[in-house]
Structure 1
Amino acid sequence: MAGIMIDAKVDRIQVPENLRYFRLIEEQKERCAEMGCQAEFYKFGLGQSPFPVPSPLQKALSLHSGMGTYADPIGNDEVRKAVASFFKARFDLDVEPGRVITGHGAKGLIFSIFTLLTGSVIIPSPGWLGYLPQLRILNIPYYRLYTHGAGNFKIRPQTLEAMLKGLVKTQHLLILNNPGNPTGGLYTKEELTVIADICRKYYTFVLSDEVYSLLTYDPSSFVSMGKIYPEGTFVIHSLSAGMGAGGFRLGSCIMPEGTSQEIIRDVAKIAATIYTSSAAPLQEAGIAAYRSGKEMDQYLEAVRNILRIITSKLAEMCKTIKGIRVTTPKAGFYFMADLNPLMNELQNAGIMHSNDLAPALISHPYHIATVTGEAMMAPYGDYFIRFSCTDFDGESALLEYLENPPAPEEEEEFFTRYAGKMIEGMKMFQKWVEDIKEGKFQMPNL
């Protein structure tokens, strides 16, 4: 019998960032074992909340674990009502439950929306890798919209308008990741308004990926694109980032204002075809999450402030390293380092393009595990690093914060106590940068 023949599009799908990240660590550990090295690895790559799942979700899941029936493809009535109420309370979005859909995580919902719509997709770069493989699987035309440090890696209105003006006059979809992965950046109301005006002008919808919105350090500073451009925005949310429940795989999408029930039925048809539905017990857990009131308020305030302390202070440490530029995180657990000012030194060290950065950083004796290059949709010639600040004991940090929140003058001590491994990792990163500048590093032959 002949071997299995693989469709050519599979080769065009990048390895997901988490798989690539773990593979880099395991391969370097094997090399280190051969030389007898047992030194620490500094983990800045995994984009996953370090905090435990909130108790209302755990209790609801346990209570409904016996539900074995198929669930509604876009969520039962109660979970859709709960999502609508939650978004009204949190982000002042007037959403009727009929235009809320839930599904198998944010990724599953995004795939359904991509399947639903016709036209091309515009993806800001650098950005989260997860969109691009889906578009390639579906063979949807897409365009990369490059962003730059001068604009804090946000979409520049004039660049967006120039791109849309040059495209075929048909429907388009703009990806907006706000708060941002990998930068930790946040769009202002004014910035969103200008982008929305351009999208209206050029028949462009927005897929607003707002999964980190609950982790905005100053909650009053977050504005949903669904508030600015309600008739043209698909608002994506999930339990993963803010509620520490990535493994639950439950996401939600607010469809644009005015979406017909026929289109909602089309989404249900697509969802039922791809993954049947999110699990029935998890829909019940979702109801508990979105309705848990004061207990969830306390949880979210604690995790938001713990991440603010740790992520902001690590970014400040990184900013002290001469020769690089660093974004200022406003939400979530990411920030991005721009090493383009060291391009000549990097290339002299054999680091010729963006995909070389991660293997160079993980090499002995540095052992710094990060996401770089193609894994964060960085242009081939740009040297960007995403730092994820999640390698700490989230459960202990959460318990301490809930019992005794640190005063501003106590935050440095809190940071030192819980972020010790990452502090050492940032010091090692500084050494790596200094070695690059002094010509002491040469890219290993891996």
Structure 2
Amino acid sequence: MIDAKVDRIQVPENLRYFRLIEEQKERCAEVGCQAEFYKFGLGQSPFPVPSPLQKALSLHSGMGTYADPIGNDEVRKAVASFFKARFDLDVVPGRVITGHGAKGLIFSVFTLLTGSVIIPSPGWLGYLPQLRILNVPYYRLYTYGAGNFKIRPQALEAMLKGLVKTQHLLILNNPGNPTGGLYTKEELTVIADICRKYYTFVLSDEVYSLLTYDPSSFVSMGKIYPEGTFVIHSLSAGMGAGGFRLGSCIMPEGTSQEIIRDIAKIAATIYTSSAAPLQEAGIAAYTSGKEMDQYLEAVRNILRIITSRLTEMCKTIRGIRVTTPKAGFYFMADLNPLMNELQNAGIMHSNDLAPALISHPYHIATVTGEAMMAPYGDYFIRFSCTDFDGESALLEYLENPPAPEEEEEFFNRYAGKMIEGMKMFQKWVEDIKEGKFQMPNL
């Protein structure tokens, strides 16, 4: 009755995460435990939707007509202008398409293109199920701690040499999920040169670009390889509007109108269009100037203060390795140095990590294993630093930005639950090393 490919689709990370918490809460209720849960798994902005978006949505909430499948002219112009101002991309509005969130646009690109897809691992899970639904061939390109979990040019070229000499698509997640890492201009240039050599397009997922702690350090792959890059962006991460489901894609330079019509046909078939009122909110998001500048500056600095300090706390735990985030609200812990101790504790593979961490009395909710495309035998954990009162933190920052010497106090005031959670993670690691933890029967 059910198509076999459905069984090959992993449960999305957010559903898996909530299910993990609920199942453990049920087990805790059976023994009368009401202890705190430490939530490091949800990859969602904690900040309120910016005021210009809220006002625009309210003002145009009566729009009930179908919208253009790839966005009305005004929202496409707004996106083009925004990318020019923010990322120095010379984009004509005709190359811009908007749609039902970044995920919907990625699905449209996967549907449009022929050839195989190369996915770096570990990475964001969302690409893989889409490829499996579409029966698109894909290859995992493994990345390693020695290279900061970035794509290694030698490995990329070796893979492309071994593939059939046809068109391919490389997925580039920059800034990175789950590491928070950032590619330099020089690193992107080398990757682009290899892609040109082997007739390979790039899908550059840049949804966290507005959250780069030092905005001047971010370089879009659309700047380096304009003729071969699909640049993906959305309102979700940087603008706190995940529920709005409005994304944008900059098509490669030189894309014909026939291809634009093709992707419009795909979009219209899959989701008709993004909602008309949300397109108006998108125009406000991309044209609000100073007010949006202030919002974005506050958001990225709050995330820098909190995420960087939680990362440093994690780095003090002996026996593990930790990435250094340059953007967003993620970092990744590598527990492979403790592989023997983990296996002695009954944690036999990467998918066991999340159930082990959530177990009583630790209650640490994270994303691990296949939920972050980690190889079966690699013990990686993604920490999301979003469990705090984003609205209060934003209001305080906008009214009175903390001086550098005041940032530690700001961190302690807003990240209290996560600070306690990181201390509990340290206890869990110590219990693993001392042989005090055994994987429970779940």
What is the percent sequence identity of the aligned residues? 97
Residue aligning to 1:114: 110
For residue 184 of structure 1, give the secondary structure of its aligned residue in structure 2: coil
Residues 205-257 of structure 1, C-alpha deviations (whole Å, 9 max, x = no match): 00000000000000000000000000000000000000000000000000000
Residues 35-57 of structure 1, C-alpha deviations (whole Å, 9 max, x = no match): 00000000000000000000000
Residues 6-30 of structure 1, C-alpha deviations (whole Å, 9 max, x = no match): 0000000000000000000000000
Please, what TM-score do these two structures have when normalized by structure 1?
A: 0.99
Residue aligning to 1:370: 366
Deviation, 1:287, is: 0.2
**CA–CA separation in structure 1 for the residues paired with 2:147 and 2:284:** 40
Deviation, 1:107, is: 0.2
- Structure 2, unpaired ranges of 5+: none
Corresponding residue pairs, total: 442
1:275 has 2:248 as partner = no
Deviation, 1:319, is: 0.1
Residues 244-278 of structure 1, C-alpha deviations (whole Å, 9 max, x = no match): 00000000000000000000000000000000000
**CA–CA separation in structure 2 for the residues paired with 1:424 and 1:193:** 42
For residue 413 of structure 1, give the secondary structure of its aligned residue in structure 2: helix
For residue 206 of structure 1, give the secondary structure of its aligned residue in structure 2: strand
**CA–CA separation in structure 2 for the residues paired with 1:141 and 1:289:** 36
Residue aligning to 1:323: 319
**CA–CA separation in structure 2 for the residues paired with 1:175 and 1:288:** 29
**CA–CA separation in structure 1 for the residues paired with 2:2 and 2:360:** 36
Residues 131-152 of structure 1, C-alpha deviations (whole Å, 9 max, x = no match): 0000000000000000000000
Deviation, 1:441, is: 0.1
Deviation, 1:358, is: 0.1
Deviation, 1:160, is: 0.2
Deviation, 1:442, is: 0.1
Residues 339-394 of structure 1, C-alpha deviations (whole Å, 9 max, x = no match): 00000000000000000000000000000000000000000000000000000000
Deviation, 1:98, is: 0.1
Residues 288-330 of structure 1, C-alpha deviations (whole Å, 9 max, x = no match): 0000000000000000000000000000000000000000000
For residue 337 of structure 1, give the secondary structure of its aligned residue in structure 2: strand
Residues 403-439 of structure 1, C-alpha deviations (whole Å, 9 max, x = no match): 0000000000000000000000000000000000000
Residues 80-114 of structure 1, C-alpha deviations (whole Å, 9 max, x = no match): 00000000000000000000000000000000000
For residue 72 of structure 1, give the secondary structure of its aligned residue in structure 2: coil
Residue aligning to 2:196: 200
Deviation, 1:34, is: 0.2
**CA–CA separation in structure 2 for the residues paired with 1:373 and 1:309:** 28
For residue 144 of structure 1, give the secondary structure of its aligned residue in structure 2: strand
For residue 331 of structure 2, give the secondary structure of its aligned residue in structure 1: strand
1:25 aligned to which of 1, 21, 30: 21
Deviation, 1:59, is: 0.1
**CA–CA separation in structure 1 for the residues paired with 2:132 and 2:66:** 30
**CA–CA separation in structure 1 for the residues paired with 2:83 and 2:69:** 21
For residue 231 of structure 1, give the secondary structure of its aligned residue in structure 2: coil
**CA–CA separation in structure 1 for the residues paired with 2:300 and 2:102:** 20
For residue 58 of structure 2, give the secondary structure of its aligned residue in structure 1: helix
For residue 82 of structure 1, give the secondary structure of its aligned residue in structure 2: helix
**CA–CA separation in structure 2 for the residues paired with 1:46 and 1:68:** 32
Greater than 3 Å deviation, 4+ residue runs: none
Deviation, 1:116, is: 0.1
**CA–CA separation in structure 2 for the residues paired with 1:152 and 1:408:** 27
Please, what TM-score do these two structures have when normalized by structure 2?
A: 1.00
- Structure 1, unpaired ranges of 5+: none
